[in-house]
Structure 1
Amino acid sequence: MTDDVLLVHGGTPISGEIRVRGAKNLVPKAMVAALLGSAPSRLRNVPDIRDVRVVRGLLQLHGVTVHSGEEPGELVMDPSRVERANVTDIDAHAGSSRIPILLCGPLLHRLGHAFIPGLGGCDIGGRPVDFHFDVLRKFGATIDKREDGQYLTAPQRLRGCKIQLPYPSVGSTEQVLLTAVLAEGVTELSNAAVEPEIEDLICVLQKMGAIISVDTDRTIRVTGVDRLNGYTHRALPDRLEAASWASAALATGGSVYVRGASQREMMTFLNTFRKVGGEFEVDEDGIRFWHPGGPLKAIALETDVHPGFQTDWQQPLVVALTQASGLSIVHETVYESRLGFTSALNQMGGHIQLYRECLGGTPCRFGQRNFLHSAVVSGPTKLEAADLVIPDLRGGFSYLIAALAAQGTSRVHGIDLINRGYENFEEKLVSLGARVERPSAS
C-alpha cells in the first residue's frame, strides 16, 4: 500500500507562509451545538479536516441540512427537521471519531433518545467515556448498553444537577455544556476545563440564548432555558496547529509565517518557544516564527491543563528539543502514553530516555501508576531518515517535523491520520519548500 505513505526528503529548512483556520477542538463541537437550535446556524472559519466531515455526516444522518455558505470555510446548518438516524448508518462512523458521544445531550433534548456506537480517536492514553454516561444519568437519562453500542433515552425533560469533575477534562466539560443549556433548572460544574476552545463554545451557546457564567475557580453555572436559536460565529484559530508549524520552523532552522495565529491563546507556548531560543513576531494577521541561528537551549517543560503548557504542543516541540544543547526534561501530566512516540525519534538518532517518575512539580495523575510519562532529551543530535509509522495525530505531525529535520529520505506511513486535524497539510508543506511526495505505485 503506497496511498497512505509520504516520502519526506529532509535536511532543508522550511520557509514561507501558511494559514490556519478554525480550531479542530472547537469547530466540530460548535457544529454539534447547532442541533440544539430552533433556527439555522452559520459557522465561519471552518477547516476542511476529517473530524468536520465526520460530524457533518452525523448531522445529516439526523436530518440536519448542511451546506456551504457564501464565504470559503463557511457552513450553514438547519436543524429544523431533526429525526432519528438509522443505527447501521451511525455505526458506519464508529471508530473514526470520538465526537459522536457529544451528540447525546442535544439528541435527548430534540428526540428523547440517542444511539452511540463504539468510539475511536487517538491512542494516547486513557480517555474513558464512562464519565460521559455518568453525567448524562445525573441529568436524568437512562442508558441501555447493548452489543452494538449505547442506547440512551430521556423519559422526561433532563434536569440540571451538580457535577464535580475529578479532572478538568475538556470532553466532559463539553458534554455538560451541551446538555445543561436546555435542561430544567441550574447546573453547576466544578473543576471544569477552561481552554480557549471551551470559552469559544460558551460564546456560541450564549449567542443561541444560553445563560452561562464562568467563575475564576473553574466553576461553570448554566441556567437552563426552554428554547435556543441559531447562531452566527467565526471559530477561533487553531492554536495547536499554529504551534506545530512553529516547532517545524524551529527544528528545521527555518521561518514560517502562520497567518491566522492569535497571540492571546498561545501566550504560554510563545514564552516556552522563546526560552528554547526561537524568535517570533506578532502582527494583526498572524505570527511569524523562526530559528535565529546559533544553538537552541535545553529547558524543563511540564504539560498541564489550560492555562498551562498544552499536551498537544508537547510532541512537536520535543522534536525541536533534540536539537537543543544540553538536557531537556519533559513531564507529561495529561496523557500517560503520549511520550511513546519518542522511540521513533531515538531510531532516527535522538537521545531520549523515558522515566516512570515525575520529573517535575506539577500535580500528576501518573506518578504512582507505572507509566513512562517523563522524558530526558539529550542534544543536540543529528537526525537520520527512517521508516516511520504514525501513532496518533500530534505524534504524526511530530514525525513529519523529524523527517523534515533529518538527513535523507524518510517513509512516513499512516499519513492520512494527519488529515484529522491539519487542513491541506501536504499542500502547506510544499508551499514552505519541503520536498515531499507520494511514492509511485510499483
Structure 2
Amino acid sequence: MTHDSSRYMMPMRSKLKWFMTATLLVSVALYYFTREVIPRQLVMYTGQPGGFYHQVGAYLQKAWESQTPGQLSLQTSSGSQENYHALRSSQADLALIQGGVVDLNGLSIIAPISSDLVHVLVRKDAAIKRITDLKGHAILVGMPDSGMASSAEKLLQFYGLDESNAQWIYDYFTEMEENGDIDAAIVTAGILNDDLNRLLLTGGYRILPVEFSEAFCAKNAFFTQATIHRGLYRMGEVLLQEDIPTVATKALLVASKNISPKVIDQMLVTLFEKSAGLHSPVMINAREVRQQQDLSLHPRAMQYFHPADQIGYMANVIESLAALKELAVALVAGLYLLWDRWRRQQEKELAKQLFNDKEKLDKLLAQTVDVERRYADAHSQEDLQGMLRQVMQIKIQALEELTHESLRGDRVFLIFMTQCSNLIDSIQSKMNRISSDARNNLNDPH
C-alpha cells in the first residue's frame, strides 16, 4: 500500500468507526425502549369486595407480586360491564368479565378461570316452585351494569318475565337479607363466593331448578348446562339435599388490546403453573381450557395452551426475531468496534516493535561501522579473526531479532546486510593475503 493510499484509508476508517459507534448506540437505545417488558404497575378490575371475582383477584395479586418485580393493584367494581368499560378506556390493564355479557372484540381473552353457576334463590317459605312462578314478584337481579344482572335478564326473558310483569331490582344480592319485600334473587357466581355461602347458611332460602336448560344454552352463547350437586352448600343446619339442574357461564380473565405479551406469558404461568389455583379448587385447569373450542383466545395464550401448533410456534419465532433485530444490529456494530479496537491495538504493538527494531538496527549498524574503521588498521590474523567473528555475530543477531516485515523490506536494513556481507568478504580476503604473504616469506630465504 502506497503512502498516498494510506493517507486516504485513515479518514475512511475513522468515519466507519464513528458510524458503527453511532449504529451501536442507536440500536441499543431502540432495543431498550421497544423491548417487551412487564410493566412495574398493572391495574386489575375485579368485582364486589365479598364476591368470588375479588377473591380471585386477591389470589392473583399475591402470586403475581411474589413472582415478578411488578405490582398488581386491584379495583373493586359493580361487575363485568364496569370492568369492560375500564378496559376500553385504558383505566384497567386486566379485568375479570363474565362470558356472554359484553362483546369482547377489541380486547384480549387470556383464559377462562372458573365456572359461574346461576343460582335462582327464593325465600324458604315462599310459594314459588319454579321460575315461571316469579311473575308478579320482586326479583333482585344484580348490580347495574354487572355480569350478574346481564345473566339474570337473559334468564328471566327466556321464561317470559320482564319488567312489565315482575319487579326487577338492581342491587347486590345480599340486599335480600335486609329487604323483606324482595322475594327472589338470581345470583351468577362461583361456588366459593363468600357472600353466597353466608346467605345460604342462614337456612332461609331455597334454590330453584333451571328448567329447559338445554334450550336456554342453545339460545345464549357462553352458557352451558350444569348441576348444583347435593351437599355443595350448607342450607342452615343441613346440607343441600338434591342435585339441582342449572346453567353456567365462564369467568374470563381479559386484558386490554395493547397488553404486553410478556404480561400474558407470566399471567398464564401464574394461573396454571405457579398455582394461584391451590387456593381455589374450582378454577379451571389447563387441560380443561385445551378442550374448549368456543373461545377466541389471544394468540399468545393459544401458543401456551396448544404448543404443538406449528403455525403458532413459527409466528412466535418470527415475532421474537423481529423483536431482536435492533439487538442483532447492535451486536454486529459492537463486534466491529471490538475488532477495530483489537486492530488498532495490534497496529500500536507493531509500530512499537518497528521502532524498537529500528533502534536495534541503528546500534548494530554503528557496531559494523566501528569494525570497518578498525579493519583498515588491522594487520594480524588474530585481530582480523576477532573482527570476522564480531561481524558474523552482528549479522546473525540482526536476522534473529529484527523480524518486523516492514523493517526487513526497508532500504536501511538491506544496506546494513550488504555492508555486513561486504565487510566479511573484505576481512576474509585480507586474512588470505596475510596468510599468502607469510608463506611466501618462508619459501624465499632472501
Q: How would you bin the TM-score normalised by the shorter chain?
A: under 0.3
TM-score by length of 2: 0.26
Larger helix proportion of the pair: 2
Say which one has the larger Rg.
Answer: 2
Q: Which has the higher contact order (CA 8 A, sep 6+)?
A: 1
User: Please, what TM-score do these two structures have when normalized by structure 1?
Assistant: 0.26
- Please identify which structure carries the higher strand content: 1
